[in-house]
Amino acid sequence: MPPEQGPAPIGRERLRSQRLREVNVQGDALRLGMNWTEDDLRKPQVLVESAYGMGHPGTFHFRSLVEEVSNGVFEAGGKPAEFVVSDICDGVVQATDGMSYSLISRDIMAAMIEIHALGHPHDAMVLISGNDKSVPAHLLAMARCDLPAVHVPGGTQLNAPDYVTSNKMWEMGAAVRRGELAEDELELAQRGACPTCGACQFMGSASTGQVLSEALGLALPGSALVPEPLTKLLRYARAAGKQVLRLLAEDLTPRRILTREAFENAIVIHAAIGGSTNALLHLPVIAREAGVEITIDDFDRIHRQVPVIADVKTSGRYPAEYFWYAGGVPALMLGLRDLLHLDCVTITGKTVGENLEEIEHDKFFMRERLGYLRNFKIRRDEIIRPRDDPFATDGGIAILRGNIAPDGAMVKTFSVPKEMHVHTGPARVFEDEPEAIDALVERRMRPGDVMVIRYEGPHANGMPEMYFAAAILSSDPELNSTTAIVTDGRYSGAMQGPCIGHVTPEALDGGPIALVEENDLIELNVPERRLAIVGIDGDPRPQDEVTEILARRRERWSPRPRRHTRGILSLYEQIASTASHGASLLGNGASAPAHSRTTRA
């Protein structure tokens, strides 16, 4: 955490809040009605926005973090204003109609924070979040509003008994349905899977988002994935409240931090942790808000160069709690610093290189964390491995293309069994996820099959996660190394196994995935980055013949009616950008021009 300093000197004449007071005299009266003092009105106004809510354990503990951020703002001479926009939980809505609302909630949350930040006369903001859509929503809002800002990651749950994690409930539930597991065993796991508040204990979308916030330079060094019960999390929150006033004094805003090099740093770290595939939807959209062009091909390029060295669940052995004890993001960056842009500026006001140098020479930073690992008798290099002994030799993401996915599809390569990196199998076509789940639960799938789950993209159904299907597949010893899923939907960050998603163009837009028929031969070739139909009716065919057959099928194809004709999903499905461009509610992702220092009022 930054060393203690006195309040930063800030000239009142350049504060947005003070300029707006000269225009709107009613505002002072309304604030005084909330027990503000006359002195409060003259202070820098800091938005303290959290995702607090009762939807899941990842936000339920945020009241104390909001209080500590506000204390820090007060101590540094500012006036906090507390606002809330909560999120929904992917784990709670998984495999239901509610999952269609998950991805769009990112953009709705970001829009509400923009309204709070720029609608009211705020000078700076501190945002508190820790989960799948709230973290990218907050980073989007920071880039869009371009007020001096700090992100406070919400921390991680403690390890559960027997290392059980909540995502395991899906495969256990399927086993109960089939009569292979007693209901008591499922209930026992449910009772213990989430022993505290915080993000789930694996490197899913929530944990990945916290890590990427710190890697981008928008959160304090060491603050991602703090175990929730530790008072260290409260201290980071108070430090964030103080730090945002220093950023305001220095006029250091997110768009000065969010350079192309900062995003490349984040992708390096994403590769090293084997992070969630949902980052392919989030980072490019955040970058676009900052005026930077990041594409899915940047992930493929960088992941080829970076080994996975974090041995963290679900593909690895250890919970996210232990990752923080092993030194967390700073330890990872120290081990990869030759691959990083060390001159990127961060919210400390210092560069990545300067932050790492301070941490390396700090007498306590690593020692106070590693002591916890000694309690568990686990070596640090078991969790964050040396680069010459990685968990996987190259990063976790590959971008595939071919006649099924001309604009790209993704696969989490290091979680795919090596024998499935090159695979050809017959298509089994499902028009939605529930059909596919029934086939898996009822064991109607055969080894070698390629399950095609379509009409689940942004324009068809809000792009829900196919996690239930993926979880059943990965837990089946007969299918998990022989059978693949291909979909225009997406997956949970906890996904494992041969699961290809984000197929673009999607089926509803007439993408080739809509033309796949039962028993077509589909080739998955990770080394050559290819996903293609290579045969018809179970027989291999020359590529020109396949192309001709697909053209004839296209002549017969007609688009399906939209699934949602009213409400926010109807709007989203009409205007969202494609999955390869982040599935953004803003369509092409265009952002309003940055507010100049002279016109911000």
Comparison of pLDDT for 544 and 175, the residue scoring more? 544
65 by DSSP, 3-state: which? helix
Q: Which residues contact 597 (CB under 8 A, 6 or more apart)?
A: 14, 251
Task: Determine the distance from the C-alpha atom of residue 276 to the mean position of all C-alpha atoms in its chain, rounded to a whole number.
Answer: 6
Which residue in the list 70, 415, 492, 577 is annotated as catalytic?
A: 492
What is the mean predicted confidence (pLDDT) over 262-269?
A: 98
DSSP symbols for 505-548: S-GGGT-GGGG--TT-EEEEETTTTEEEEEEETTEE--HHHHHH
Cis peptide before 547 (omega within 30 of 0): no
| Percent of the chain topping pLDDT 90 | 85
Tell me whether strands 484-487 and 499-501 are parallel, antiparallel or unpaired: parallel
What is the mean predicted confidence (pLDDT) over 97-107?
A: 95
What is the mean predicted confidence (pLDDT) over 556-560?
A: 93
What is the mean predicted confidence (pLDDT) over 187-197?
A: 95
CATH of domain 43-159+195-383: 3.40.50.2300
* Nearest by Cα to 479 from 438, 436, 450: 450
| Percent of the chain topping pLDDT 70 | 96
Confidence band (pLDDT; 50, 70, 90) for 202? very high
Confidence band (pLDDT; 50, 70, 90) for 394? confident
- What would the pLDDT profile of 405-431 be if each residue is shown by its tens digit? 999 999 999 889 999 999 999 999 999
Confidence band (pLDDT; 50, 70, 90) for 597? very low
Q: What is the pLDDT of residue 494?
A: 73
* Nearest by Cα to 570 from 140, 162, 104: 104
Task: Determine the distance from the C-alpha atom of residue 422 to the mean position of all C-alpha atoms in its chain, rounded to a whole number.
Answer: 28
Q: What is the pLDDT of residue 599?
A: 31
Q: What is the pLDDT of residue 598?
A: 34
The reported pTM is: 0.94
Q: What is the pLDDT of residue 9?
A: 74
What is the mean predicted confidence (pLDDT) over 140-169?
A: 95
492: annotated active-site residue: yes
Residue 499 to residues 26, 233, 282, 473, 492: CA-CA distances in angstroms?
57, 35, 19, 9, 11
Report DSSP state, residue 251.
Answer: T
Q: Where are the domains of the chain?
A: 43-159+195-383, 160-194, 401-560
Q: What is the pLDDT of residue 1?
A: 67
CATH of domain 401-560: 3.50.30.80
3-7, 26-30, 222-226, range with the lowest pLDDT: 3-7
Average pLDDT of every residue of the chain: 93
45 by DSSP, 3-state: which? strand
Confidence band (pLDDT; 50, 70, 90) for 274? very high
140 by DSSP, 3-state: which? helix
CA distance 601 to 599: 5
